[in-house]
Structure 1
Amino acid sequence: MNDNIPASLPTSDVLLAEIDNHDVARLTMNRPERHNAFTPELIAALHAAFDAIARMKGIRAVVLKGEGRSFSAGADLGYMKEAGGWDEAENIADGQRLSDMLNAIYTCPVPTIAVAHGAVYGGGVGLIACADLAIAIQTAQFRLSEIRLGITPATISPFVIKAIGARHARRYFMTAEPFSAAEARRIGLVHRALTTSGDADQQIGEWIELLGEAAPGAVRDAKTLIMDYAGEEITDELRTDSANRIAARRADPEGKEGLTAFLEKRAPKW
Structure 2
Amino acid sequence: MFNTITVATDSRGVATLTLDRANKHNAMSGEMIDELTTAALQMAQDDTIRVVILTGTGKSFCAGGDLSWMQAQMAADSATRFVEARKLAEMLQALNTLPKPLIGALQGNAFGGGVGMASVCDVAIGVDHLKMGLTETKLGIIPATIGPYVLARMGEARARRVFMSARLFGAVEAVELGLLSKIVPADQLADAVEAEVLPYLSCAPGAVAAAKQLARDLGPRIDDSVIDHTIGALVSRWETAEAAEGIGAFFEKRKPSWQ
TM beyond 0.5? yes
Band the TM-score falls in, shorter-chain normalisation = 0.7 to 0.9
- Alpha-carbon displacement from aligned partner over 1:77-105 (angstroms, at most 9, x marks no partner): 21111111112221111111001000011
Question: Which one of the candidate residues 171, 183, 195 is aligned to 1:193?
Answer: 183
Task: Tell whether the 8 Å contact from 1:61 to 1:110 is kept in structure 2 after alignment.
Answer: yes
What RMSD in Å do the two structures reach over aligned CA positions? 1.2
Q: Aligned residue for 1:238?
A: none
| Cα distance between partner residues in 1 of 2:196 and 2:134 | 28
Question: How far, CA to CA, are the matches of 1:207 and 1:174 in structure 2?
Answer: 32
| SS at 2:52 equivalent | strand
Q: Deviations over 1:136-182 (max 9, x none)?
A: 11111101010100010011101111001111221212111001111
Give the superposition deviation at 1:231. Answer: 5.0
Q: How far 1:58 sits from its partner (Å)?
A: 2.7
Q: Distance in 1 between matches of 2:125 and 2:56?
A: 13
Q: Which residue of 2 aligns with 1:207?
A: 196
Aligned to 2:255: none
Report the TM-score when normalising by structure 2: 0.83
Contact preservation (8 Å) 1:117, 1:141: no
Structure 1 position 112 matched with structure 2 position 102: yes
SS at match of 2:196: helix
Q: In 1, are the aligned partners of 2:33 and 2:87 still within 8 Å (CA)?
A: yes
* Divergent runs of 4+, >6 A: none
Residue correspondences, number? 221
1:223 partnered with 2:230 = no
Please identify the structure whose Cα radius of gyration is greater.
1
The aligned runs of 1:5-84 (5 Å cut-off) are 11-84=1-74
Per the alignment, residue 256 of structure 2 pairs with none
Q: Would the aligned equivalents of 2:8 and 2:15 in 1 still touch at CA under 8 Å?
A: yes
Q: Determine which structure has greater relative contact order: mean sequence separation of CA pairs < 8 Å that are 6+ residues apart, divided by chain length.
A: 2
- Structure 1 letter corresponding to 2:104: A
Question: 1:122 pairs with 112, 115, 120, which one?
Answer: 112
Q: Does 1:157 align with 2:147?
A: yes
TM-score by length of structure 1 reads 0.79
CA distance in 1, matches of 2:28, 2:185: 26
CA distance in structure 2 between the partners assigned to 1:124 and 1:177 by the alignment: 14
Distance 1:19 1:177 in 2: 37
Please list every run of 5 or more consecutive structure 2 residues that lacks an aligned counterpart in the other structure.
222-259
Is the 2:132–2:171 contact (alpha carbons within 8 Å) kept by the matching residues of 1? yes
Aligned AA for 1:161?
Answer: L
